[in-house]
Structures are given as structure tokens and as C-alpha cells.
Amino acid sequence: MNSSNQAASTSFKAPDSSRLQLDEQGRLRHFLTTESLSKEILTEIMDVAESFSSVGNQAVKKVPVLRGKTIVNLFFENSTRTRTTFDLAAKRLSADVINLNIATSAASKGESVLDTIRTLEAMHADMFVVRHSDSGAAHFIAANVAPHVSVINAGDGSHAHPTQAMLDMFTIRRVKESFAELKVAIIGDILHSRVARSQIHALNTLGTKEVRVIAPKTLLPSDTDSLGVHVYADLRTGLKDVDVIIMLRLQRERMGGALLPSEHEYFECFGLTEEKLAYAKPDVMVMHPGPINRGVEMEAAVAEGPHSVILQQVANGIAVRMAVMTLTLGQNRAAS
């Protein structure tokens, strides 16, 4: 049983507002959640990411913009993909990167989060990229760092995963251009998904025509009604005429619980197959944050098929993280 992913864990005070992530001029100082950020800021992140996406074409895949800055990846929860892309993003910006896996580090010796932060600040860290199993952890750290330090939330409990949401928005925009005409369906475990929450906020702020969630009732949060989405319990009905499909990862560690009967039954009802895909628009995009459980969330033919943009999402993830790091650190420094 992996307790680190439990949605209900609340050892940090749940974040009440995102004011913390903006400076006095209303610019991004930390990046903690997509909630309550303006359309202008979300668009700015995507515009800057567009410029960073050409860095991968250079013979030297690096720009010197964050040269001399120290970025600490503080991962209190295991992650390979997210940490790797943050690591690569920081290195492409010429920053120095330290990867700290706290689960196997000082925390297990009883050092508090704040002690860890103070120690790293004393080493002149400029940015913390925080992944934690508790909702509100990145917010708590942002509220307690020195004024010159920026914090990026790389996933906190079931609360938010804003860089994943923004790389998905960026991937959609690079193909579809305008959100105003789009019907987007998010499919899977909405209840435990920090990604889904961040996506729904971003999609609505960017003016998406219709946001749908397709999930079994047991995997919907109690506050679904307040999220501004249309809920479907049937995959075929929900997929009708959608332009974008966002699959969520089903966390297998929860399969044993009462929320789901079996992987096989889940795939029967909510697994994406070519047959079900035919209900969506002919030019539908299929997205998934990875890693895919083939034969559970979708069949391999869909994941590797012509509608899939899963590998583009990975490349776009680096550009979006470069954009967020540069915007927060640049504006933070400029203000001080």
C-alpha cells in the first residue's frame, strides 16, 4: 500500500489562495497552481515556451539565461519523468541543478521541511522545484522562503500539478490554435488527479468552449459541480464530437480498493480503443501524461496511433518548464 498518494492527507494547511504566486506588479513569482491565474499569464507562459522550443534545434542545446543560478529539485515523493524534465529544463537554461530525493535523505532522519529549506538557502539556492505527497506543500514552502527564492510546484498531493497542465495546454495550442472552439474531454481518475484539477482551471481560463470529464462516479470529487465541467459516465456519449482527449493515469496501487472492481472491467468501460475513438472528431488529439498502463487506460494501437501526441507532450514539457523557470526567476530578480 502506497500511502504517499492518498488524496486525504493534510499535514500542510490547504492553500486558500494563489495570491502568493504573484508579485506586487501581478507578475509570476512562484508557480504553484493554475487556479486564479489570468489568461494573460497563462498565454505568456505558452508564448515564452514557444521561443524555448527552438533551443532543442541548436547544436549546443543550451541558452545562458539562468547561468549562475542554482535550482534544487526537492522531491519528497518519487518521480522519474517529471524530475528528469525539470532537470533537463534547468540544464538547458545553464543553471546548476541539485536533485534531492528527500524520501531517502534527511527527512528520514527527522529534519523538518523548514530546516531543509533553510539549509539549502544558506547554500544560495535560487529556486526550489517541489514534489510532495501532501496538498499544499509547495504553497507552504513558497510562503516561507527568502525573498529572492522562487518555488515551482511539481505536484502536491491531489491538489495541483501546474506545469503538467500548462504543457498540455501548450501541446493543444500548437495543434489547435484557438481554445474558443474546442471540446475537451478528460478521462479517468479525476478524484485523485492533481493534473486534472490544474487542467480544468487552465482550460476554463483560456476560454475553452466545453470541458468534459468522463469517469466512474467513484472517481469523481465531491466538488465536481463547482469546477465548471460537464460530467459523463459513459465513454462513447462523452467522446461525441470532442477535439481533444486527455487521458489520466490510473494509479494501479488503488486498484485493490473499493473504488474500482478490476483493471479489466475499467478498460471495458473507460479504456480508449480505436472503436471508441471513432465517436470523437476525425482530427481528435489523444494525450496522456505517461507512463501509460497499456490495456488499462488505452490500447497500444491508440497510444501509438496517428491521433496520439504523447511524445510531443514530453518535448513540450521541457520548453514549458524552461519558460516557467525563466519567468519566475527573471521577474523575481528584477523586482528585488
Partner 1 sequence: MDKELTAIDIDEVIEAMADDLARYIKRKNMVDPLMIGVHTGGLWVAERLHQHLGLAKPLGEIDISFYRDDFTRIGLNPQVKPSHIPGEVESEHIILVDDVLFTGRTIRAALNEIFDYGRPDSVTLAVLVDRGARELPLHADIVGLKLDLSPEKQVKLTGPAPLALETNRN
Count Cα neighbours of 188 within 13 Å in the Cβ-side half-sphere. Answer: 30
54 interacts with partner 1 by CB under 8 A: yes
Assign 21 to helix, strand or coil. helix
For partner 1, the binding residue among 47, 177, 234, 274 (CB under 8 A) is: 47
Closest distance of CB 329 from partner 1, Å: 8
23 interacts with partner 1 by CB under 8 A: no
263 interacts with partner 1 by CB under 8 A: no
For partner 1, the binding residue among 58, 104, 178, 262 (CB under 8 A) is: 58
Q: Hey, CA dihedral for 254, 260, 264, 267, is it positive or negative?
A: negative
50 interacts with partner 1 by CB under 8 A: yes
β-bridge mates for residue 187, sequence order: 214, 247
Nearer of residues 82 and 326 to partner 1, judged by Cβ: 326
96 interacts with partner 1 by CB under 8 A: no
**Residue 165 parent element (H or E):** helix 162-176
Which residue, among 334, 330, 247, has the nearest Cα to 295 in the 3D structure? 247
Q: Which three cell numbers mark 306? A: 496517428
Q: How many CB atoms lie within 10 A of CB 251?
A: 14
44 interacts with partner 1 by CB under 8 A: yes
Largest CA distance in the chain: 57
152 interacts with partner 1 by CB under 8 A: no
For partner 1, the binding residue among 20, 55, 227, 259 (CB under 8 A) is: 55
Closest distance of CB 166 from partner 1, Å: 15
60 interacts with partner 1 by CB under 8 A: yes
Assign 285 to helix, strand or coil. strand
Distance CA 284, CA 34 (A): 25
Segment interacting with partner 1, rule: CB under 8 A, options 9-17, 58-66, 115-123, 212-220:
58-66
233 interacts with partner 1 by CB under 8 A: no
Nearer of residues 92 and 139 to partner 1, judged by Cβ: 92
Count Cα neighbours of 306 within 13 Å in the Cβ-side half-sphere. Answer: 4
Per CB under 8 A, residues contacting partner 1 are 44, 47-48, 50-55, 57-60, 62-66, 326-327, 330-331, 333-334
